[in-house]
C-alpha cells in the first residue's frame, strides 16, 4: 500500500503541496482530480522522489521512502507514466522497454507479457520511439512502466489527446491490473473516464487532498466535480 | 619529390591526426552529450595521459614495447580515476550546472597543468615507440608506428560504438542523455552515470595521448591544441552527436594535415576556426546535430 501523511513539497520557495495525506490500496484504482495547476503532477513527482518532500512521510508497504535517492523509488516497485509521456525519444521501442526492465531486473517473460497487452508495439520494436503516433507513444509509456512489474502504478493524464478507442484500451489495461493487485493512481480530468475505471476519487484543492469519494453510486453530476474540477 | 607523393604524404599525416583527434573529440562529445558539461579541462586529461605514459615507460625496464603497452593500459585508467575524483569533488557539488561547470573546469585545467609542471617539469620528454619499422614507398619511407596509431584508434572507436549501442551501460548512458529526470524515475543512478561518463571521456583523451606521445613528446603545455581542435570538431559535427564528431574529425584532421604541409599549421587553424564560425552562423546545431 502507498501511504502519504502530512506531505509538503514545492519548487524553490513556492509550496505546492501542503500537509497532504493520501493512500492507495493494493488492487484498487484511485483517481486524482483537481484544477490545472493544483499540484497533481507535483504529487506524482513527489511520490517518485523527483520533487523532494520538505515535510511528512511517503511510505510503500510500511517503508518510508521520502529520504531515499530518487532512483531507489522505482526499484522498490513504483512505476511512473509521466504527463506528456516523456519517452526516450531517440531510442527505439525495444530500448525504451529495456530501460523499464532494467529497473527491477525483469527479463524476457515480463517483456513478453507486456507486449501481449500491446501487440502494436511488438510490430514496431525497432522503430525510433519519437516517430510513433501519439497513441502508440502512450502505449509505450505505459508498457515501459509495466516492465517494472510494479506494486504501484502512477499514471499522469494518460488519456490526454487520445481518441475514444485508445482511451478504452487504456481503461482495459488499468482494469486488468486491478485484478493482479496493483495499486493504480490515475490523474484524470474527464469525469466519464474516471467513473468508467476508478474505485475511488481523490479531489485536490489548495495543495491537499480535500475529499475522497467512493465511485460506487457516484453520478457525473455530483457537486464535487463542479466544486473541485469546475465541469 | 613530385606533387603526387607529397600529397600522399600529407594525406597520411592528416589521417594520423584525424585518428587521434577523433578519439579525443569523442571523449569531449560524450561528456557534453550525456552531462551537458563543457569540459574545458579535456586537453589537460590528454596531457596527463602523455605524462603518465612517460612515467610508466620510464619505470619499465627492457624493450620499449613493454613500457608502451603497459602505459596504454595504465595511463587511461589513472586519468579516468582523476576525472572520476574531479567529478565527485567538484562537478557533482555544482549540481552539473552548465555555467558553473565551465568555470570549474577552467580551474581544473590550471590545477592539472601546474601539477604537471611541478612533478614532470618544463622540458618535453619522448616516449620510445614500441617498434620502429618503416614502410617503404617508391618516394619516401613512412613510419609503421603511425599506421598502427590509425588502426588502434579505429579499433578503439569501434569498441566505443559497440559499447554505446550494444551494452546495458551504453543504453543507460543514452537514456540519461535524453532525459535525466525520467531516467531517475526508471531506477537509473544518474550520479554514477555522470561519474562514469566523465571518466570515460577523460580516458579516451588519455588513450589518444599515449598513442601520439611516441611521435610528439610529452609536455605540460601540450593540452591546448587538442582542446581547441576537439571543440572545433564537436561544434562542426553537432553537439552530442557521435557520428558528427567522427565525420568532423576526419575532415578537420585531414584538412589540418594537408594545409599544414602545403602552407602552414597556422593557416590550417585559421581555416578551421573560420569553418566553426560559418557553422555557428548557418547551422548552429552542427552538421549532424539535432535541432535544439
Ligand atoms: N519545475 C517547476 N518549477 C517551479 N514551479 C513549478 C514547477 N513545476 C510546476 N510548478 C508549479 O507548481 C504548480 C503545480 O503544478 P503541477 O504541474 O503539479 O499542476 P497539475 O495539477 O499537474 O496541473 P495540470 O492539470 O495542468 O497538469 C503550478 O503552479 C506550477 O506552475
Ligand atoms: Mg499535471
Residue with cell 552527436: B241
How close is the nearest chain A Cα to the Cα of B148, in Å? 35
What local confidence, expressed as pLDDT, does residue A191 receive? Answer: 86
Which of A99, A126, A148 to mutate to probe the B interface, most B CBs <10 Å?
Answer: A99
Domain residue extents for chain A: 2-77+151-229, 86-149
Q: Of A50, A46, A41, whose CA–CA distance to A58 is shortest?
A: A46
pLDDT band at A220 (very low <50, low <70, confident <90, very high): confident
Angstrom distance (rounded) from CA B82 to CA A117: 48
SS3 call for B113: helix
Angstrom distance (rounded) from CA A150 to CA A167: 21
Question: Cβ–Cβ of B188/A89 closer than 8 Å?
Answer: no
Q: A213, A224 in Cβ contact below 8 A?
A: yes
What local confidence, expressed as pLDDT, does residue B290 receive? Answer: 65
A41 Cα–ligand 1 center, Å = 7
Strand order in the sheet with A208-214: A78-81, A152-156, A183-187, A29-33, A200-205, A208-214
Mutation probe of ligand 1 site: the residue of A8, A10, A36, A41 with most atoms within 8 A of C-beta: A41
- What number is the average pLDDT over the span A57-79? 95
Residue with cell 475505471: A197
Q: For chain A, where are the alpha helices, taking DSSP H only?
A: 40-47, 72-76, 93-103, 108-117, 119-122, 134-146, 164-179, 191-197, 223-224
| Tens of pLDDT, residues A114-146 | 999 999 999 999 999 999 999 999 999 999 999
- What number is the average pLDDT over the span A171-197? 90
Q: Of A37, A82, A41, whose CA–CA distance to B184 is shortest?
A: A82
A34 Cα–ligand 2 center, Å = 10
Contacting residues for B277 by C-beta, under 8 A, at least 6 apart = none
Angstrom distance (rounded) from CA A97 to CA B254: 41
What local confidence, expressed as pLDDT, does residue B112 receive? Answer: 97
Nearest CA in chain B to A100: B186
Is the per-residue pLDDT at A161 higher than 90? no
Question: Cβ–Cβ of A100/B171 closer than 8 Å?
Answer: no
Q: Which residues in B lie closer than 8 A to residue A73 (C-beta atoms)?
A: 185
Written out in words, the top-level CATH class of the domain with range A2-77+151-229 is alpha beta
| Tens of pLDDT, residues B92-137 | 999 999 999 999 999 999 999 999 999 999 999 999 999 988 988 8
pLDDT band at A190 (very low <50, low <70, confident <90, very high): confident
Does any CB of chain B come closer than 8 Å to the CB of residue A193?
no
Phi/psi at B61 (5° precision) = -80, 175
> What would the grid cell of residue A36 be?
490545472
Is the per-residue pLDDT at A226 higher than 50? yes
What local confidence, expressed as pLDDT, does residue B217 receive? Answer: 93
**pLDDT by 10s per residue, chain B, length 292:** 788 888 888 899 999 999 999 999 999 999 999 999 999 999 999 999 999 999 999 999 888 899 999 999 999 999 999 999 999 999 999 999 999 999 999 999 999 999 999 999 999 999 999 998 898 888 888 999 999 999 999 999 999 999 999 999 999 999 999 999 999 999 999 999 999 999 999 999 999 999 999 999 999 999 999 999 999 999 999 877 888 999 999 999 999 888 988 888 889 888 988 998 998 888 888 888 765 4
What local confidence, expressed as pLDDT, does residue A24 receive? Answer: 96
Q: What is the Cα B39 distance to its own chain's centre?
A: 12
A10 Cα–ligand 1 center, Å = 9
Q: A8, A19 in Cβ contact below 8 A?
A: yes
Question: Cβ–Cβ of A91/B171 closer than 8 Å?
Answer: yes
How close is the nearest chain B Cα to the Cα of A168, in Å? 26
Q: B10, B17 in Cβ contact below 8 A?
A: no
DSSP state of A49: T
Does any CB of chain B come closer than 8 Å to the CB of residue A50?
yes
Angle at B201 between CA B131 and CA B279, to 5 degrees: 105
What local confidence, expressed as pLDDT, does residue A231 receive? Answer: 64
Q: Of B171, B168, B188, whose CA–CA distance to A71 is shortest?
A: B188
- What number is the average pLDDT over the span A99-114? 96
The enclosing H or E element of B15 equals helix B3-35
What local confidence, expressed as pLDDT, does residue B140 receive? Answer: 87
Nearest CA in chain A to B193: A71
B205 Cα–ligand 1 center, Å = 42
Q: Can you spell out the DSSP letters for A61-119?
A: TTEE-TTS-TTHHHHHTEEEE-TT----TTSBHHHHHHHHHHHTT--HHHHHHHHHH-H
Amino acid at each position: 500500500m502507498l501511504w502519504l501523511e502530512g506531505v509538503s513539497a514545492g519548487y524553490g520557495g513556492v509550496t505546492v503541496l501542503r500537509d497532504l495525506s493520501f493512500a492507495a490500496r493494493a488492487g484498487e484504482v484511485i483517481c486524482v482530480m483537481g484544477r490545472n495547476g493544483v499540484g497533481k503532477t507535483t504529487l506524482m513527482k513527489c511520490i517518485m522522489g523527483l520533487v523532494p518532500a520538505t515535510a511528512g512521510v511517503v511510505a510503500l508497504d510500511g517503508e518510508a521512502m521520502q529520504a531515499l535517492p530518487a532512483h531507489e523509488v522505482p526499484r522498490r516497485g513504483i512505476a511512473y507514466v509521466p504527463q506528456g509521456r516523456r519517452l526516450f525519444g531517440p531510442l527505439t521501442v525495444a530500448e525504451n522497454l529495456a530501460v523499464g526492465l532494467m529497473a527491477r531486473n525483469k527479463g524476457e517473460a515480463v517483456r513478453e507479457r507486456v507486449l501481449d497487452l500491446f501487440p502494436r508495439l511488438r510490430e514496431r520494436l525497432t522503430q525510433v520511439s519519437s516517430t510513433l503516433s501519439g497513441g502508440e507513444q502512450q502505449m509505450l509509456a505505459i508498457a515501459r512502466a509495466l516492465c517494472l512489474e510494479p506494486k504501484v502504478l502512477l499514471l499522469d493524464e494518460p488519456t490526454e489527446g487520445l481518441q475514444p478507442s485508445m482511451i478504452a484500451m487504456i481503461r482495459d489495461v488499468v482494469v486488468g491490473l486491478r485484478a493482479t493487485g496493483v495499486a493504480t493512481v490515475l490523474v484524470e480530468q474527464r469525469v466519464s473516464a474516471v467513473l468508467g475505471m476508478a474505485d475511488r476519487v481523490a479531489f485536490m484543492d489548495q495543495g491537499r487532498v480535500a475529499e475522497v469519494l467512493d465511485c460506487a453510486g457516484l453520478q457525473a453530476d455530483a457537486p464535487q466535480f463542479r466544486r473541485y474540477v469546475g465541469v | 619529390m613530385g606533387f603526387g607523393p607529397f600529397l600522399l604524404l600529407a594525406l597520411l599525416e592528416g589521417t594520423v591526426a584525424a585518428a587521434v583527434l577523433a578519439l579525443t573529440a569523442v571523449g569531449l562529445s560524450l561528456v557534453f552529450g550525456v552531462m551537458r558539461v563543457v569540459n574545458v579541462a579535456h586537453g589537460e586529461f590528454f596531457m596527463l595521459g602523455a605524462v603518465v605514459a612517460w612515467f610508466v615507460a620510464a619505470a619499465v625496464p627492457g624493450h620499449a614495447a613493454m613500457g608502451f603497452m603497459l602505459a596504454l593500459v595504465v595511463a587511461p585508467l589513472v586519468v579516468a580515476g582523476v576525472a572520476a575524483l574531479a567529478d565527485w569533488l567538484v562537478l557533482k557539488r555544482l549540481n552539473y550546472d552548465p555555467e558553473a561547470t565551465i568555470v570549474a573546469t577552467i580551474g581544473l585545467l590550471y590545477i592539472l597543468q601546474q601539477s604537471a609542471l611541478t612533478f614532470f617539469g618544463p622540458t618535453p620528454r619522448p616516449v620510445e615507440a614500441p617498434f620502429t619499422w618503416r614502410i617503404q614507398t617508391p618516394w619516401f619511407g613512412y613510419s609503421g608506428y603511425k599506421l598502427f596509431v590509425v588502426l588502434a584508434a579505429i579499433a578503439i572507436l569501434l569498441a566505443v560504438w559497440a559499447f554505446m549501442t550494444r551494452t546495458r551501460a551504453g543504453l543507460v548512458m543514452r537514456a540519461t542523455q535524453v532525459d535525466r529526470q525520467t531516467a531517475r524515475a526508471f531506477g537509473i543512478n544518474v550520479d554514477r552515470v555522470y561519474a562514469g561518463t566523465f571518466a570515460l571521456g577523460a580516458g579516451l583523451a588519455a588513450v589518444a595521448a599515449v598513442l601520439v606521445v611516441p611521435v610528439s613528446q610529452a609536455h605540460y603545455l601540450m593540452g591546448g591544441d587538442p582542446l581547441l581542435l576537439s571543440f572545433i570538431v564537436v561544434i562542426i559535427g553537432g553537439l552530442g552527436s557521435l557520428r558528427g564528431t567522427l565525420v568532423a574529425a576526419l575532415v578537420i584532421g585531414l584538412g589540418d594535415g594537408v594545409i599544414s604541409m602545403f602552407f602552414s599549421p597556422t593557416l590550417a587553424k585559421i581555416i578551421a576556426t573560420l569553418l566553426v564560425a560559418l557553422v555557428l552562423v548557418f547551422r548552429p546545431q552542427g552538421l549532424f546535430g539535432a535541432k535544439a
